[in-house]
Amino acid sequence: MDWSGVHLGVYTVGEPVDEVFLAKRLPANELGGDLYKCGGADFTNTNSIGIENEDKGQFYSYDLKSNKKTSQHTALKGLINGLNAGNVTKERFAQLVDVDNFLSYAAVSWFVGNPDDLRNNYNNFYLYFLKSSGKAIIIPYDCDRCLGVAVHWDPSGHALTRDDPFSAYRNDTGDAQRNPMYLYSVVAGGWYVREFAKVLERVDRDPLLSANTFAQRFQTAQRHYASSVKPSKSLGNLWGLPFDLAKTAPLGSGQNLSYRDFMSRKLGSLQSFLNKVDQYASSTPQKKEIKYYIRGNFNDWTDREEYRMTEKDGMMTFRLKFSEQFRFKVYRPDTGAWYGTEVLSPDTTVPYDSSGNTSIILQPGTYDVTFDPVTCVIHLKKV
């Protein structure tokens, strides 16, 4: 590419993930759903959903890219709240997530070995909701740190060549996995461990993974473009990632592995994990205990066990009784999510006021507070 007489090197054009992209790959009855570009999105809370406005410095973990004038983010909030309700069944999971898509995404992502993806860093994916079923599918993008690229950043210390595809940890560093999509599906104790293993085996047999196939394609590109790649000026955003088919670096050196070395190590470790599938599949899933507290001016807005809500028929309940005006919110400590007047049931008849940060203000009396962990709606009843 030449710009004002300056040679900038060879550029590739990446296809944007948008409505045109979706129309090429999905049947007509699945078009028209909400599409989000996601970064730092672990599916544990709804605190960062919106439409990016770079001029105003407004950025979101779930950045809406379609239906901007009409979407109320209902599908996304339903997905996140549903996955975090604490009483998710296999059937409910399959209603929220397109399982075939997710298993394929998770398997290919493991082979690619990108530490900056949904599993490892909650980054670099698009989320789309199929129109007919409302189920979520994952679309990866920005896979620049993969297939043995370890220069400048290698959080696992082995370029993700030894990571267990069934582990409930990220990057093989001991960081616990928070994403309920993974926790409920493919990690030990998940509902789809055996199905995931079969997808891994299918990808393993794909000839595209062959080091010889990769070498042929690399050499074709090199033959056509090697003389034109180097820019005539230094560009500040180039990291200078050296890559050579004939060279590889030791694990943990902070340098790149060759594709052949990376894939050999990756495939060499896979069978050891597949041999444990029976053990992984029979593991007892860890039931996620979800706690909710009433926080207010009467307890210094902190978590105290005497203000912990109790579960009854899938709802979280608490009785508040005060002889003077008080204010409160429902709080979930594991995600840091607060719930106030913005989620009060539309048919609320109990008189209330609201502060600037949506705290619920009530007059002296006794009130039953009911919180739905799936819809995140608060119901009030004066006793």
Q: Using CA atoms, how far apart are residues 115 and 157, in angstroms rounded to an integer? A: 11
Tell me which of 213-222, 229-238, 321-330, 332-341 is least confident: 229-238
Task: Say if residue 327's pLDDT is above 90.
Answer: yes
Residues 14 and 148 both lie in one domain: yes
pLDDT at 188 over 70: yes
Number of Cβ within a 10 Å radius of residue 259: 20
The CATH number of the domain holding residue 344 is 2.60.40
pLDDT greater than 90 at residue 28 = yes
Residue 253 domain flag: no
Averaged over 222-251, what is the pLDDT?
A: 76
More confidently predicted of 132 and 222: 132
Q: 233 in a domain, yes or no?
A: no
Does residue 316 share a domain with residue 197? no
pLDDT, residue 224, reads: 87
Segment 289-302 mean pLDDT: 93
pLDDT at residue 69 in the model: 96
Domain membership flag for residue 273: no
Among 191, 208, 225, give the residue marking a domain's end. Answer: 208
Residues 202 and 311 in one domain: no
Residue 356 has pLDDT above 70, yes or no: yes
Average pLDDT over residues 100-115: 97
Residue 57 lies in a domain: yes
Q: Give yes or no for a contact between 339 and 329, defined as CB atoms under 8 angstroms apart.
A: yes
Q: Is the pLDDT of residue 212 over 90?
A: yes
**Do 172 and 306 lie in a common domain?**
no
What mean pLDDT is reported for the chain?
91
Of 160, 181, 208, which residue sits at a domain end?
208
Q: Over 80: is that where the pLDDT of 366 sits? A: yes
Alpha helices (H) along the chain: 19-25, 74-83, 90-96, 99-112, 118-121, 180-183, 193-204, 211-225, 259-274, 277-282
Task: Give the domain range for residue 88.
Answer: 2-208
pLDDT of residue 47: 84
Provide Rg for the chain, Cα atoms. Answer: 25
Q: Which amino acid is at 363?
A: Q
Tell me, yes or no, whether 237 lies in a domain.
no
The reported pTM is 0.78
Closest by CA position to 111, among listed 273, 229, 238, 246: 273
One domain, residues 198 and 57: yes
Same domain assignment for residues 15 and 122: yes
Residue where a domain stops, chosen among 160, 187, 208: 208
Q: Is 22 a domain residue? A: yes
13 lies in a domain? yes
Whether 153 has a pLDDT exceeding 60, the answer reads: yes
Distance CA 292, CA 276 (A): 37
Provide the pLDDT for residue 284.
Answer: 66
> Is the residue at 231 inside a domain?
no
pLDDT of 312 reads: 85
Comparing 87 with 115, which gets the higher pLDDT?
Answer: 115
Q: What's the confidence (pLDDT) of residue 115?
A: 94
Highest-pLDDT range among 173-177, 280-284, 319-323: 319-323
- Provide CB contacts within 8 A for 283, sequence distance 6+: 188, 189
Are residues 306 and 187 located together in one domain of the fold? no
pLDDT over 90 for what percent of the chain? Answer: 73
Distance between CA atoms of residues 66 and 59, nearest Å = 16
Read off the pLDDT of each residue in 315-328 and give the average, rounded to a whole number. 96
- If DSSP states are collapsed to H, E and C, what string results for 265-288? HHHHHHHHHHCCHHHHHHCCCCCC
**What angle do helix axes 211-225 and 259-274 make, rounded to 10 degrees?**
160
Give the confidence band of 274 by pLDDT, cuts at 50, 70, 90: very high
Does 9 have pLDDT greater than 60?
yes
Domain total for the chain?
2
Q: In what order do the strands lie in the sheet with 49-50?
A: 49-50, 62-64, 35-38, 125-129, 136-140
Lowest mean pLDDT among 97-111, 160-174, 342-356: 160-174
CA distance 184 to 285: 8
pLDDT at 196: 98
